[in-house]
Amino acid sequence: MKIAFIGLGNMGAPMATNLVKAGFEVHVFDLVAEALKALEAEGATPGSSALEVARDADVVVSMLPAGRHVRSLYLGTDDNPGLFSRLNSKPLIIDASTISPDDARVVGGAAAEHGLRYLDAPVSGGIAGAHAGTLTFIVGGAAEDFVTAQPVLDVMGKNIFHAGPVGSGQVAKICNNMLLGILMSGTAEALALGVRNGMDPTVLSEIMKQSSGGNWALNVYNPWPGVMDGSAASRDYQGGFLTDLMAKDLGLAWELALGSGAAVPMGSQARNLFVQHSAQGNGKLDFSSIQWLYRAGMES
């Protein structure tokens, strides 16, 4: 099976590498030349355009930052026709980016007009999950397309959920990330309060992990530097899941809430915190650097 993989960033590169290791013929494209070189070293075939790699692929996987990148790739822009109108073959399209459910439905609808099958398949599990092949895939689309995609998704993920029709993968993912944004900022706030009042952050983390405040951010993604080996916080918040991407996802949650009349006071608060943090120049740091908004004890 030939797979075209488009978007080789923090997530896409390790995901594509796992497909190579599993024996698939993987053709890759990214706008960044170094990203292409790194995947070539892993055994993938680099291409000079998205069309070149997708032309006769059985499956196209995209892992791009936001909805505008996904729309532009598949639907095109005023001066650049998109993939859908230029493909002669009929690959299954799997978009693993986190984008709005409306964007996913627009792209999915356009795919159907071109006789193409489309799944929105956003992921959870972060960069560690992408490297380990243990991501959670949350998939929206037709049941038969979900079955077709499963052997490919199984290589990159451990838990593969069919959420419902096109767009539902994104709805579920956005709900999850809104909760994650709330948990991460709440965890940072609690740690800063404890440290300001004399607690050692490692001791406090251990106590809260074993108590009713335990949560994913505390258990596997502790935002305080030095508390957890290998965490983004322990490597100056480099790499990981960028603050700007979390701000984007919380914006998607806000849009979803507006469109459906839902109140999301906690999600709105978290969005404001991450947007403020980004505006202070931290957009390209891992999102757990939200700890810096609560600077108590951080300077020492």
Least distance to ligand NAD, CB of residue 93, Å: 14
Catalytic residue among 173, 209, 248, 284: 173
- Which window, 1-9, 38-46, 204-212, 268-276, contacts ligand NAD (CB under 6 A)? 1-9
For ligand NAD, the binding residue among 57, 123, 191, 208 (CB under 6 A) is 123
Counting contacts by CB under 6 A, is residue 153 touching ligand NAD?
no
State how beta strands 25-29 and 2-6 pair: parallel
Least distance to ligand NAD, CB of residue 300, Å: 29
| Alpha-carbon gap, residue 65 to 34, rounded angstroms | 17
Counting contacts by CB under 6 A, is residue 4 touching ligand NAD?
no
Counting contacts by CB under 6 A, is residue 245 touching ligand NAD?
yes
| Alpha-carbon gap, residue 243 to 118, rounded angstroms | 29
Q: Which residue is nearest to ligand NAD (CB)?
A: 9
Least distance to ligand NAD, CB of residue 156, Å: 12
Least distance to ligand NAD, CB of residue 199, Å: 29
Q: For the chain, percent helix, then strand, then coil, each to nearest 5?
A: 50, 15, 30
| Alpha-carbon gap, residue 145 to 135, rounded angstroms | 19
Residues in 79-98 that interact with ligand NAD by CB under 6 A: 97-98
- What's the angle, vertex CA 290, arms to CA 289 and CA 296, rounded to 5? 95
How many alpha carbons lie under 13 Å from residue 61 in its C-beta half-sphere?
31
Residues in 182-241 that interact with ligand NAD by CB under 6 A: 241
Residue 257 three-state SS:
helix
Q: Give catalytic status of residue 173 as yes or no.
A: yes
Counting contacts by CB under 6 A, is residue 11 touching ligand NAD?
yes
Burial 17-52 (b: 16+ CB within 10 A, else e): bbbbeeebebbbbbeeeebbebbeebebbbbeebbe
Residues in 25-44 that interact with ligand NAD by CB under 6 A: 29-32, 35
Q: Could you tell me the sign of the dihedral formed by the alpha carbons of 73, 250, 15, 114, in that order?
A: negative
Counting contacts by CB under 6 A, is residue 166 touching ligand NAD?
no
| Alpha-carbon gap, residue 289 to 166, rounded angstroms | 33
Counting contacts by CB under 6 A, is residue 19 touching ligand NAD?
no
| Alpha-carbon gap, residue 13 to 130, rounded angstroms | 9
Counting contacts by CB under 6 A, is residue 136 touching ligand NAD?
no
Least distance to ligand NAD, CB of residue 7, Å: 4
Least distance to ligand NAD, CB of residue 299, Å: 28
Query: Which residues contact ligand NAD by CB under 6 A?
Result: 6-12, 29-32, 35, 50, 63-65, 69, 73, 97-98, 123-124, 126-127, 241, 245
Q: Which amino acids are annotated catalytic?
A: 173
